[in-house]
Amino acid sequence: MKVKVTEQGVVIPKDFLKGVEEVEIRKENNIIFVIVTNQTDPIFEMGMNPVNCGVSDASEKLDNYIYGSVVSN
């Protein structure tokens, strides 16, 4: 796709940015990069939808339940 450069710059079609909230624009040599920056790290989503498994101390003794052994502090 070719677009004209105006006084304000160029317009990126919204279809290219579906679901994108933020981008980083960078120029290296003669290449302009548009990089999506709003991707979240899945680690931050842990615990968002907890399930009830009948264990009251899972957050305190997580290693015991995952590895099946007692881990000393």
- pLDDT tens for the chain, residues 1 to 73: 899 999 999 999 999 999 888 899 999 999 999 999 866 777 777 777 877 888 888 878 888 888 886 655 5
Q: What is the structure's pLDDT at 71? A: 57
pLDDT value for 57: 85
Q: What is the pLDDT of residue 72?
A: 59
Residue 60 has a pLDDT of: 85
Predicted TM-score of the model (pTM): 0.47
Sequence-distant (≥ 6) Cβ neighbours of residue 31 within 8 angstroms: none
